[in-house]
Amino acid sequence: IVLLLKRLCKRKVNQPKGALYVSASSEKKILIVGGTRFIQAPCQRGTSGSFHDLANCLLSYKNFVSFSHCPMVDFFREAEEVEPIIDALPELEQYIYCSSAGVYLKSGTLPHYEVDAVDPKSRHKGKLETESFLQSKGVNWTSISPVYTYGPLNYNPVEEWFFHRLKAGRPIPYKRKVQQPKGALYVSASSEKKILIMGGTRFIGIFLSRLLVKEGHQVTLFTRGKSPIAKQLPGESDQDFAVFSSKILHLKGDRKDYDFVKSRLSAEGFDVVYDINGREAEEVEPILDALPKLEQYIYCSSAGVYLKSDVLPHCEVDAVDPKSRHKGKLETESLLQSKGVNWTSIRPVYIYGPLNYNPVEEWFFHRLKAGRPIPVPNSGIQISQLGHVKDLATAFLAVLGNEKASREIFNISGEKYVTFDGLARACAKAGGFPEPEIVHYNPKEFDFGKKKAFPFRDQHFFASVEKAKHVLGWKPEFDLVEGLTDSYNLDFGRGTFRKEADFTTDDMILSKKLVLQ
């Protein structure tokens, strides 16, 4: 704020009097209400007294143009405190208000956006009423909603609380455990290409292959032949399925038979490879050796490669964990980088959608359909993130032939995050079930053996997708409830699912009654 005031003092550009909007470049007479504690610097001309006294005082300063209100101070928390100021300054050009992100309604879906629902009962309801009042008055106003503010001179014990304990060498009480080129350089997405998909008959590849065929590419699936190459999707018309079936090609083999891979791929000569099921670098190297003129290698990695951190969301530049169970994917990314090929790596978080073979949404749907409580570990406020498979497929398509995607990594998932409890409620809403009963339990009190009691890792785990949005121009089509509804209607709601319900661990939890209140 000190820097801001210095900049304001340097601006000397004239502006016609009475303009509806104030120009930031013109010299203006500005009043900051509050300003000696933290956010604002001290004003040159101070005004003190009650709000009514202040309003009377302002009658002699009608050419004031801007007010900034300090949060967490006893100034301007209520609309009635603002009204006298507006009345006193009929020629006011701009009113800048410091509100609070605390006005948002608590939600299982995060982060909060400016268009999200607000809580009329929050302790900041006066700030909400002030925003409504400013809107009704027709003044030129702006509202800023900080979350937690920190920095030098902070009077709220935000960072100071930690510094005191760290300096004293004391433990941090209740510290949460955060479990957290060969050949052509670029391929043109608009040109017809000979594309190989490694995998493609289980989940991601089913949706991706359809997009690629619709774009006019020649698409071949490399699989072991254990599943049909073409199967009709729920909701897919007979005509669309017939067209797809007539165009999709198949190469049967085991990708770990490296001699076979080299000989067959070398003979075929593909332009682009989408590697959906590669887990180890040694599985990828034979493909690169077989295709010296390969134009692009697009790899499906995982956000699980990131090192657990207390600072989230994960970004593509964040540290990775060489000991993670996805270390093979890390080694593959390193191999691609060292080979000098034109490559792109996609790192999904949790993927959901129709035909999902991982029990993500299906786990919740089974319990909701059976009318059973939903067992959720610990507090249920652990934040996670899900991305719809169709949005993932469009992201894979967006990197094809995209020069901006060359040798780049992109996180792909939904735009918002969700708590475990919020996910349970979202699944209920998607399937048309009643509000679920959620039972919290302490996993340390149970021995589940090899059984998995909950389908998510018990930690905060989510990643930023801003890079993909800005670099690729990609944006998810589905919000969480819409996506879960799509998944339910096209899969579980039709009576189809991958795994039968198993409530063994649920019964252990409910019978012991060791729940968290």
pLDDT, tens digit (0-9, with 9 covering 90-100), for 108-149:
778 888 868 888 888 888 888 888 888 888 889 898 888 988
Token pair, residue 431, equals 């399937």
The closest of 313, 301, 307 to 461, measured between CA atoms, is: 313
Q: Once rounded to an integer, what is the mean pLDDT over residues 162-169?
A: 83
Q: What is the pLDDT of residue 113?
A: 85
- Whether 51 shows a pLDDT value over 50: the answer reads no
Burial class (CB in 10 A: 0-12, 13-18, 19+), 347: buried
DSSP string, 134-203: HHHHT--EEEE--SS--STT--SSSHHHHHHHHHTT---TT--------S-S---TTS--EEEEES-SSS
pLDDT band at 412 (very low <50, low <70, confident <90, very high): very high
The closest of 234, 458, 208, 226 to 346, measured between CA atoms, is: 208
Domain with CATH 3.40.50.720 in the chain: 2-144, 194-512
pLDDT band at 329 (very low <50, low <70, confident <90, very high): very high
pLDDT, tens digit (0-9, with 9 covering 90-100), for 453-505:
999 999 999 999 999 999 999 999 999 999 999 999 999 999 998 889 999 99
Q: Considering the entire predicted model, what is its pTM?
A: 0.75
pLDDT band at 169 (very low <50, low <70, confident <90, very high): confident
CATH 3.40.50.720 applies to domain 194-512:
yes
Contact 365, 217 (CB under 8 A): no
Integer Cα distance of 417 and 423 in angstroms:
10
Contact 488, 361 (CB under 8 A): yes
Fold of 2-144: Rossmann fold (3.40.50)
Determine the residue type at 401.
G
pLDDT, tens digit (0-9, with 9 covering 90-100), for 231-272:
889 889 999 999 999 999 999 999 999 999 999 999 999 999
pLDDT band at 213 (very low <50, low <70, confident <90, very high): very high
Spell 448-480 as b/e; 16+ CB within 10 A means b: eeeeebbebebbbbbbbbebbeeebebebebeb
DSSP string, 469-514: IIII----S--HHHHHHHHHHHTGGGT--SS----HHHHHHHHHT-
Token pair, residue 470, equals 């800005």
Partner residues linked to 110 by β-bridges: 417
Integer Cα distance of 8 and 35 in angstroms:
15
Crossing angle for the helix pair 389-399 and 204-214, to the nearest 10 degrees: 50
- Whether 185 shows a pLDDT value over 50: the answer reads no
The closest of 467, 162, 457 to 321, measured between CA atoms, is: 457
The closest of 8, 22, 25 to 93, measured between CA atoms, is: 22
If one compares 403 and 12, the residue with the highest pLDDT of the two is 403
Integer Cα distance of 213 and 218 in angstroms:
7
At 223, is the secondary structure helix, strand, or coil? strand
